[in-house]
Amino acid sequence: MSTLVVVGVQWGDEGKGKIVHLLGHKADVVVRYQGGNNAGHTVIFDGKHFVLHLIPSGILQPGKKCLIGNGVVVDPEALHEEIQFLEKRKIRVKGRLFIADAAHVILSYHRHLDCLREDASGKGKIGTTRRGIGPAYSDKVGRTGIRIADYLNPTVFRPLLERNLREKAPLLTRFGSMKQIRNQVLKRYSALRSFLVPFVVDGPQFVYGAVEADKRVLFESAQGTMLDVDFGTYPYVTSSNPVAGGVCIGSGLAPTQIDDVLGVVKAYTTRVGEGPFPTELKDDLGESLRQRGMEFGATTGRPRRCGWFDAVAVRHAVRINGSRWLALTKLDVLEGVHPIRVAVAYRVGNKILKEFPNDRELQATVQPIYEEMPGFQGSIRGMTRYEQLPVNARRYVKALETLVGARFAMVSLGRSREETIILDSKFPWKP
């Protein structure tokens, strides 16, 4: 048995989809343990391009099994659409994808509530993906949520739905009468229910089964540590725990069974939506990173905010996740950028902060203290060995390792699977 958690260590979109797909050929099972269809994981191989939202990226590796764990919030309509999309592209999903019966569902009123809260928040809005994620997790913790098992059983589901509609109706008037909103939920209920039945399993049993059968299990986070509801830039976060600790809660894997953690990190920083971003570049360089890195949301298409690498935030994430290993992505996007800057601490007034602060006012006002490094020229794409990289690119990689306190198992130099250099032969999941 061997388990590996692949977790984002910035504000999401680090390239988790690419890395999970690359490592997925060594896995028997790939598990998503939190988030929902707010995620957008891009996988490019053999000239094909996929963006996955709910289904683990392992589905694109023939023969692998995939689980949507109990910690995920599942929009049945979005899941149906994603399965249809994959099957149309000749990816067999039936018999390979499983869904934990204790995962909670997102229904149309969760999406409405998400929009309502965002629109009512004015300047304080979070910039959510409007997929209903926060309201569905609120219901889960508030004990009014509806799980897949409940959704599949009409005699359980109907009274739960009525109770939720009664509770939320006063807020939902903008989206129609209670009757109309009920009809939105029920219109495709019967068809979706029959569609889902064959996929549904007891999630923890599925995970124990894999572990006991000595399978290799990969856990794929959505979002990233700085968007974690406990360890991120609260309240500008998502409503779940992407951190490695979330694996146990979101899948049923026991804490003692996590063997290793790999953090995925971009060579610079991006963030979509609102919230603190100490190293943000609001100038031409930020725009140039956005264009060259194609930094537009894989789910909502929104332009991503871009900035320098923030070693304070990543070091915080490396510790929380216990990620001994990192995969560095998008180094190619820094080609020709000179000098390259990395935030190594923050300044507030005349105080120096070496750790990421929890105070939201500090998060929004800290000034990064940068270390400058010489940039590298020329194209590095297509390079297959670390020694081929320009000396300044190698220096940058080494400096980041020291600053964040973890080792790079691999460096990615392009979007497709092949454009990856393996740096450390001791990495147990070396492709």
Instruction: Give the span between the Cα atoms of 169 and 113, in whole angstroms.
Output: 10
Subset of residues 11 to 70 that bind Mg ion, contact rule: CB under 5 A: 13, 40
Q: In this structure, are residues 203 and 101 in contact, taking their beta carbons and an 8 Å threshold?
A: yes
Rounded to the nearest 10 degrees, how much is the dihedral formed by the CA atoms of 273, 143, 5, 231? 50
- Tokens read off for 267: 């060579």
Q: Which 3 state secondary structure label does DSSP give 401?
A: helix
- Phi/psi for 115 (5° steps) reads -65, -40
Minimum CB distance to ligand IMO smaller for 137 or for 308: 137
Subset of residues 15 to 54 that bind ligand IMO, contact rule: CB under 6 A: 38-41
Per-residue x/- marks for ligand GDP, 411-430, CB under 6 A? -xxxx---------------
From 199, 329, 342, 429, residue interacting with ligand GDP (rule: CB under 6 A): 329
Angle at 258 between CA 254 and CA 264, to 5 degrees: 135
Catalytic site residue 46? no
- Told to check if 12 binds ligand IMO by CB under 6 A, we report yes
Report in angstroms the alpha-carbon separations of 212 from 33, 209, 260.
19, 5, 18
Residue 61 contact, options ligand IMO, Mg ion, ligand GDP, none, Cβ 5-8 Å cut-off depending on partner type: none
Instruction: Give the span between the Cα atoms of 224 and 221, in whole angstroms.
Output: 7
If you search the block for the tokens 């940068």, which residue do you land on?
370
Q: Which of 21, 28, 41, 104 does the annotation list as catalytic?
A: 41
Minimum CB distance to ligand GDP smaller for 83 or for 333: 333
Using the rule CB under 6 A, give the single segment among 137-145, 238-246, 326-334, 341-349 that binds ligand GDP. 326-334
Least Å distance between CB 54 and ligand IMO? 10
Minimum CB distance to ligand IMO smaller for 164 or for 240: 240
Catalytic site residue 28? no
Minimum CB distance to ligand GDP smaller for 261 or for 298: 298
Per-residue x/- marks for ligand GDP, 278-317, CB under 6 A? ----------------x---x-------------------
From 3, 4, 13, 279, residue interacting with ligand IMO (rule: CB under 6 A): 13
Residue 311 contact, options ligand GDP, ligand IMO, Mg ion, none, Cβ 5-8 Å cut-off depending on partner type: none
Minimum CB distance to ligand IMO smaller for 60 or for 126: 126
Least Å distance between CB 125 and ligand IMO? 9
Per-residue x/- marks for Mg ion, 269-298, CB under 5 A? -----------------------------x
Dmax over Cα atoms in the chain, in whole Å?
66
Minimum CB distance to ligand GDP smaller for 242 or for 357: 242
Report in angstroms the alpha-carbon separations of 142 from 107, 137, 159, 168, 184.
16, 8, 17, 13, 23
Instruction: Give the span between the Cα atoms of 426 and 421, in whole angstroms.
Output: 14
Per-residue x/- marks for ligand IMO, 211-250, CB under 6 A? -----------xxx--x----------xx-----------
Q: Which of 13, 28, 139, 332 does the annotation list as catalytic?
A: 13
If you search the block for the tokens 């683990």, which residue do you land on?
56
Least Å distance between CB 52 and ligand GDP? 8
Q: Give the count of residues interacting with ligand GDP (CB under 6 A).
A: 22
Long-range CB pairs of 122-130, under 8 A, 24+ apart, other chains included: 125/274, 126/235, 126/236, 126/237, 126/273, 126/274, 126/275, 127/236, 127/272, 127/273, 127/274, 127/275, 127/302, 128/38, 128/238, 128/273, 129/37, 129/38, 129/273, 129/299, 129/300, 130/300
Alpha-carbon 388 to chain mean position? 31
Q: In this structure, are residues 257 and 210 in contact, taking their beta carbons and an 8 Å threshold?
A: no
Point out the residues that are catalytic: 13, 41
Q: Which residues of the chain form contacts with ligand GDP (CB under 6 A)?
A: 8, 12-18, 40-42, 44, 294, 298, 329-330, 332-333, 412-415
